[in-house]
């Protein structure tokens, strides 16, 4: 839906629903902590960031190219359907044994990993997000002038 819809506000909303569905998959995999983090970070923060970016820029003049012919749409649909068929064949053909083990990653273990072993990557991601925010502000100011 993010690709198909015409209005950018509808695209952002469908992206938020997609993130929420991914959080539901985490809950089904018994990874409740990661599911809650998915909801807070992606559904909450990242979707709001996209909404702010959408409001700060003029997106009405942006075009996505010429309209594709019907044969392109049909071939794309067939290709995606074939890929889905292969994936379902592979997933349903797997022989997985049921397990009653609990998810072993606790919030403490994840915190030790993120703030211990991967602290440099976490800091780099923060700096990258700050640079993106400053870039969005600069672009919005140029459009206002």
Residue 143's pLDDT is 63
Most confident range (mean pLDDT) of 44-48, 59-63, 114-118, 127-131 is 127-131
Write b or e for each residue in 52-76: b if 16 or more Cβ atoms lie within 10 A of its Cβ, otherwise e.
ebeeeeeeeeeeeeeeeeeeeeeee
Q: What is the pLDDT of residues 28-69, one digit of tens each?
A: 887 888 888 899 988 888 888 888 877 777 666 555 567 778
What is the architecture of the domain spanning 1-63? Up-down Bundle (1.20)
pTM of the model: 0.54
Percentage above 90 pLDDT, the chain: 23
Distance between CA atoms of 113 and 104, rounded to whole angstroms? 13
Domain residue spans in the chain? 1-63, 65-94, 104-145
């Amino acid at each position: 839906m993010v690709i198909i819809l015409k209005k950018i506000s509808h695209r952002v909303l469908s992206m938020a629903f997609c993130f929420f569905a991914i959080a539901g998959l985490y809950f089904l995999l018994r990874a409740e902590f990661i599911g809650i983090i998915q909801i807070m970070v992606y559904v909450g923060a990242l979707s709001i960031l996209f909404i702010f970016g959408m409001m700060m820029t003029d997106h009405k003049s942006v075009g996505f190219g010429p309209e594709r012919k019907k044969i392109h749409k049909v071939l794309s649909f067939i290709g995606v359907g074939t890929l889905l068929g292969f994936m379902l064949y592979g997933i349903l053909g797997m022989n997985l044994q049921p397990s009653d083990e609990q998810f072993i990653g606790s919030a403490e273990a994840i915190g030790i990993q993120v703030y211990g072993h991967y602290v440099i990557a976490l800091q780099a991601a923060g700096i990258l997000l700050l640079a993106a925010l400053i870039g969005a502000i600069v672009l919005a100011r140029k459009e206002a002038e």
